[in-house]
């Protein structure tokens, strides 16, 4: 079993895709998607970095670090904000939360429960909305894929991630509240684009992932119709397949593992593998 700390990837000039996972309402499957896509992309040979921006620290936990704040030797994104280390120095290897085994090709910048102070901390920084864009320059050309897991609000952390992403992934569920959240997210992107479009910021959603859909119509006609509406409204932006309701997902959450590691044979894991393919992360 490999638990030895590897060296962070060097600059190779490779093309780095930066996927911002965002939603207009909380609990839309962002962290579940981030954990599963990161794990699968690494398994398929990509060099991956996950940066979570949420004080709930869900994606950090899923990728091996239950409570980063409890270990003062572990750097977090908040240490980067505080100038205690660089983003490069904050990289830690992803690991299996149960065995401690290193997940090859997978790296993280850990979240902190102090991330709720991010807005306050960045308040005095010049061009505060661009802080993450600037920081990510240290990682570009070193990773194939960077995933930014936003919190369930539109605070400065999410705004930074929306500006920094080369692709924006809207996460939703086939339920009214979450589907409406997509519109709120689009409004925020459009607003930010007015100011930051000249820097190359995306002008809209690039992908939409629907999670926790109903398994069949009889399970909930209304939910099915909302899913249809989202597909009709957004067409090809909506990635196939929808991740159906699967009890293995909350089980994986409790076990602090990405669903693709917890139960690779589950329907949800298969759906996430297919979503990664549909997004052309791997073939
Ligand atoms: N396909 C699914 N089947 C069943 N439960 C699911 C599925 N996908 C996600 N969930 C559950 O929905 C909840 C929210 O998921 P998740 O934490 O990924 O959302 P989030 O968008 O990251 O939330 P937040 O906005 O709070 O960060 C979790 O408890 C997760 O286990
Ligand atoms: Mg989350």
Beta bridge partners of 18: 146
Query: Which atom of ligand 1 lies closest to the CA of 268?
Result: 1
Give nearest CA residue, ligand 1 atom 7: 212
Give me the pLDDT at residue 214, please: 75
Question: Does a structural domain hold residue 11?
Answer: no
Give nearest CA residue, ligand 1 atom 11: 250
Question: Does a structural domain hold residue 2?
Answer: no
Place of tokens 């930074």: 160
Question: Does a structural domain hold residue 250?
Answer: yes
Beta bridge partners of 91: 109
User: What is the domain count for the chain?
Assistant: 1
Cα(211) to centroid(ligand 1), Å: 8
Question: Does a structural domain hold residue 8?
Answer: no
Query: Which atom of ligand 1 lies closest to the CA of 149?
Result: 22
Best residue among 20, 25, 27 to mutate for probing ligand 1, ranked by most atoms within 8 Å of CB: 27
Please give all residues whose beta carbon lies within 6 A of any atom in ligand 1, as ranges: 23, 26-32, 54, 56, 58, 151-152, 171, 211-212, 243, 245-246, 249-250, 253, 268
Q: Domain containing 251: what range?
A: 17-274
Cα(74) to centroid(ligand 2), Å: 21
Give me the pLDDT at residue 223, please: 83
**Sequential pLDDT tens for the chain (283 residues):** 677 789 999 999 999 999 999 999 899 999 999 999 999 999 999 999 999 999 999 999 999 999 999 999 999 999 999 999 999 999 999 999 999 999 999 999 999 999 999 999 999 899 999 999 999 999 999 999 999 999 999 999 999 999 999 999 999 998 888 888 999 999 999 999 999 999 999 999 999 999 987 777 777 788 888 899 999 999 999 999 999 999 999 999 999 999 999 999 999 999 999 999 999 999 9
Cα(271) to centroid(ligand 1), Å: 15
Give me the pLDDT at residue 220, please: 79
Query: Which atom of ligand 1 lies closest to the CA of 27?
Result: 23
Both structure tokens of 215: 């398994």
Give me the pLDDT at residue 174, please: 86
Give me the pLDDT at residue 231, please: 93
Q: Between 176-196 and 156-164, two packed helices, what is the crossing angle to 10 degrees? A: 70
Cα(58) to centroid(ligand 2), Å: 6
Q: What DSSP state is assigned to residue 260?
A: H
Beta bridge partners of 207: 169
Cα(23) to centroid(ligand 2), Å: 10
SS3 244: strand
Closest CA to 18 of 172, 171, 202, 270: 202
Give me the pLDDT at residue 1, please: 67
Give me the pLDDT at residue 2, please: 77
Beta bridge partners of 95: 102
Cβ–Cβ < 8 Å for 81, 118: yes
Question: Does a structural domain hold residue 207?
Answer: yes
Question: Does a structural domain hold residue 12?
Answer: no
Question: Does a structural domain hold residue 282?
Answer: no
Q: Where are the alpha helices (DSSP H) in 11-84?
A: 30-43, 58-62, 77-81
Distance CA 21, CA 51 (A): 10
Query: Which atom of ligand 1 lies closest to the CA of 245?
Result: 3
Cα(52) to centroid(ligand 2), Å: 8
How many CB atoms lie under 10 A from the CB of residue 149? 29
Cβ–Cβ < 8 Å for 114, 77: no
Query: What are the DSSP calls for 89-115, one per residue?
Result: TTEEEEE-TTT--EEEEEEEE---GGG
Cβ–Cβ < 8 Å for 113, 61: no
Q: Which residues surround ligand 2, an ion (CB under 5 A)?
A: 30-31, 58
Question: Does a structural domain hold residue 21?
Answer: yes
Distance CA 142, CA 10 (A): 6
Looking up residue 135, the CATH number of its domain turns out to be 3.40.50.300
């Amino acid at each position: 079993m490999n638990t030895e700390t590897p060296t962070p990837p060097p600059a190779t000039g490779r093309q780095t895709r930066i996927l911002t996972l965002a939603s207009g309402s909380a609990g839309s499957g962002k962290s579940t998607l981030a954990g599963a896509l990161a794990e699968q992309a690494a398994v398929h040979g990509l060099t991956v970095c996950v940066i979570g921006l949420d004080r709930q620290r869900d994606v950090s936990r899923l990728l091996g670090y239950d409570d980063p704040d409890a270990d003062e030797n572990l750097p977090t994104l908040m240490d980067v904000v505080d100038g205690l280390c660089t983003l490069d120095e904050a990289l830690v290897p992803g690991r299996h939360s149960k065995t401690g085994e290193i997940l090859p090709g997978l790296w993280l910048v850990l979240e902190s429960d102090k991330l709720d102070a991010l807005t306050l901390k960045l308040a005095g920084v010049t061009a505060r909305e661009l802080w993450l864009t600037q920081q990510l320059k240290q990682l570009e050309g070193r990773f194939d894929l960077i995933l930014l897991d936003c919190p369930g609000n539109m605070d400065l952390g999410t705004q930074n991630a929306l500006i920094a992403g080369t692709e924006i992934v809207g996460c939703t569920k086939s339920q009214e509240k979450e589907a409406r959240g997509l519109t709120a997210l689009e409004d925020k992107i459009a607003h930010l684009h007015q100011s930051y479009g000249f820097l190359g910021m995306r002008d809209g959603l690039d992908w939409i992932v629907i999670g926790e859909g109903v398994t069949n119509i009889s399970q909930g006609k209304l939910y099915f119709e909302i899913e249809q509406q989202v597909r009709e409204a957004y067409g090809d932006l909506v990635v196939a397949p929808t991740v159906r309701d699967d009890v293995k997902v909350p089980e994986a959450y409790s076990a602090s593992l990405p669903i693709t590691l917890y139960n690779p044979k589950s329907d949800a894991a298969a759906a996430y593998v297919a979503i990664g393919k549909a997004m052309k992360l791997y073939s």
